Amino acid sequence: MKTKRNITLNWLILAIFTAAFSISCERELDELKPVSYPIMPEVFIDDFSSGLNYAAFGGSVPTAFDVDKEVAYDNSEASMRFDVPDANDPAGAYAGGVFFTSVGRDLSVFDALTFYIKASQPATIDVLGFGNDLGESKFQTSINGVTVNTSWKKVIIPLPDPKKLTAERGMLFYSEGPENGLGYTFWIDEVKFEKLGTIAYPRFTIQNGNNDNQSSFVGVSMQISGLSSIFNMPNGIDQSVNISTAYFDFATSDETIATVDENGKVVIVGGPGTAKITASINGEEALGSLTIQSKGAFISAPTPISLPADVISIFSDAYPNIAVNYYNGYWAPYQTTQSADFEVNGDHILYYTNFNFVGIEFSSPTQDASSMTHLHLDVYVPSNLTSDAQFKLELVDFGTGGTGSYVTSIPAASSQQWVSFDIPLSSFSGLTNRAKLAQLIFSTTSTGFTGFYADNIYLYR
């Protein structure tokens, strides 16, 4: 009986092997699927889950995190403890770091990262999230301003599109500074991915939810911005969630006019014509769009004719440029001007959008323009001006020269074409000396003048 049984068992094993082999023999190439990663919900329950590592952010206190065996949620064995430093702690300015795995995990079956949190005092934690893998962090997702107190509470961070999280390595990250200059301690426990089914009404935006229009040229590229998301949480409250560009699926209405890649980079490839860029996440259409009005081939500004020896070039492809600190100082708090500089066929163009004022600084070193006589500037207003636009230029001398200003206008009839200015430096009233020129400032008081391209900005004689 015993022998017989063994024989049968052997036959059985053989049969299993045969079955396995015959299955693998029948498998065809097109049935092979991409490498699949383990489905593992636990991040930190009572200890590091399999393959989990920790790294502190640069500038943070490297020892801020520790495993705590005294304090834990629901009297479990251990929790994660985070010691936020006092202000001016020589060890680091804040507590922050990443819990990541070396091998990706498949999170596509879950819809939220959840954990319990409490602190030694009421506090507002700056950032909590996942998807930071210390590398590309393609699917970084976080919430800001998480209020905590001395009782455990559950934090839920939605997975914006679980289908995309098939190989995620960033399990949890955090960043928190002192509260009113003082450090404190918070604890996190029972960190895991869950399928809740009770997160509803995802709402996404691009371009801050606006339907923006932009006229441009073949070869110009631009970036979709103003991304946001809101989810209704299991307690019926809306939660804003910071999500990365990679969650969005971008689409163009006409790829012969403009293309858009997975990072939201738009490239105008044809025209004249119109293409509307839209986006969705997990089939949910995002609010907002960017409509590109391509004007066709880019017309460059006139090529400068001054000799290089007679020029101090601030911004031009025709001359070597001096050292420039910045082309947009983003001067707080009143500046609204943004930059959307672009390049077409090797021709670099400054593009100031949402224009009220903006400064270019070249103070390291300052420029001695004592021997120069004029300022040259080519300006192109891409929108259709309905009335002449006031345009003010200021030159600032960091020595004894003070600030000189010059006011001119851009005729409405000259919009959507290059306008060249050659302004005598003597016309900048108030500029008494130009031995240490350091800034050029543009501004306007005309509300219709919302932006312009600039090229070939130089001083010459």
Partner 1 sequence: MNKITKISIVVFALSSMFVFSSCERDDEQNLDERNWQLVWSDEFDESKGSLPDSTNWNFELGNGDNGWGNAELQSYTNDTANIRMDGNGHLQIVAIKNGTSYTSARITTKGKFEQKLGRIEASIKLPYGPGIWPAFWMLGSNIDSVSWPACGEIDIMEYRGQQPDIVHGSLHGPGYSGGNPVTKSYGLTQGRFDTDFHLFAVEWDEEKIDFFVDDYLFQRVYSDDVSGDWVYNQPFYLLLNVAVGGNFVGFPTSDTPFPQTMTVDYVRVYNEIR
Residue ranges binding partner 1 (CB under 8 A):
1, 4-5, 8, 195-198, 200-201, 232, 234-238
Q: How far is the CB of 1 from partner 1 (least distance, A)?
A: 7
Residue number, 184 or 231, with CB nearest to partner 1: 231
Residue number, 149 or 403, with CB nearest to partner 1: 149
Q: How far is the CB of 191 from partner 1 (least distance, A)?
A: 20
Q: How far is the CB of 237 from partner 1 (least distance, A)?
A: 4
Residue number, 109 or 297, with CB nearest to partner 1: 109
Q: How far is the CB of 153 from partner 1 (least distance, A)?
A: 14
Residue number, 69 or 154, with CB nearest to partner 1: 154
Comparing CA positions, the residue from 216, 361, 209 lying closest to residue 296 is 216
Residue number, 196 or 324, with CB nearest to partner 1: 196
Q: How far is the CB of 197 from partner 1 (least distance, A)?
A: 3
Residue number, 236 or 320, with CB nearest to partner 1: 236
Q: How far is the CB of 238 from partner 1 (least distance, A)?
A: 6
Note whether 457 and 314 are within 8 A (CB).
yes
Structure tokens at 48: 């590091």
The secondary structure element, H or E, covering residue 17 is: helix 2-26
Q: How far is the CB of 235 from partner 1 (least distance, A)?
A: 5
Residue number, 8 or 373, with CB nearest to partner 1: 8
Note whether 403 and 431 are within 8 A (CB).
yes
CA torsion sign for 74, 240, 98, 130 is positive
The answer for residues whose C-beta is within 8 angstroms of residue 338's C-beta and 6 or more apart is 328, 352, 353, 354
The answer for residues whose C-beta is within 8 angstroms of residue 374's C-beta and 6 or more apart is 422, 423, 424, 425, 459, 460, 461
The answer for residues whose C-beta is within 8 angstroms of residue 455's C-beta and 6 or more apart is 300, 301, 315, 316, 317, 347, 348, 349, 350, 378, 380, 418
Strand partners, 115: 155
Name the region of 231 (left: φ>0; alpha: ψ -120 to 50; beta: rest): beta
Residue number, 41 or 62, with CB nearest to partner 1: 41
Note whether 204 and 141 are within 8 A (CB).
no
Structure tokens at 421: 């200015």
Comparing CA positions, the residue from 125, 124, 136, 195 lying closest to residue 170 is 136
SS3 392: strand
Residue number, 2 or 33, with CB nearest to partner 1: 2
Q: How far is the CB of 201 from partner 1 (least distance, A)?
A: 8
Q: How far is the CB of 8 from partner 1 (least distance, A)?
A: 7
SS3 10: helix
Q: How far is the CB of 264 from partner 1 (least distance, A)?
A: 28
Using DSSP bridges, classify how beta strands 211-216 and 289-294 pair: parallel, antiparallel or unpaired: parallel
CA gap 100, 52 in Å, rounded = 6
Using DSSP bridges, classify how beta strands 338-339 and 347-353 pair: parallel, antiparallel or unpaired: antiparallel
Residue number, 64 or 156, with CB nearest to partner 1: 156
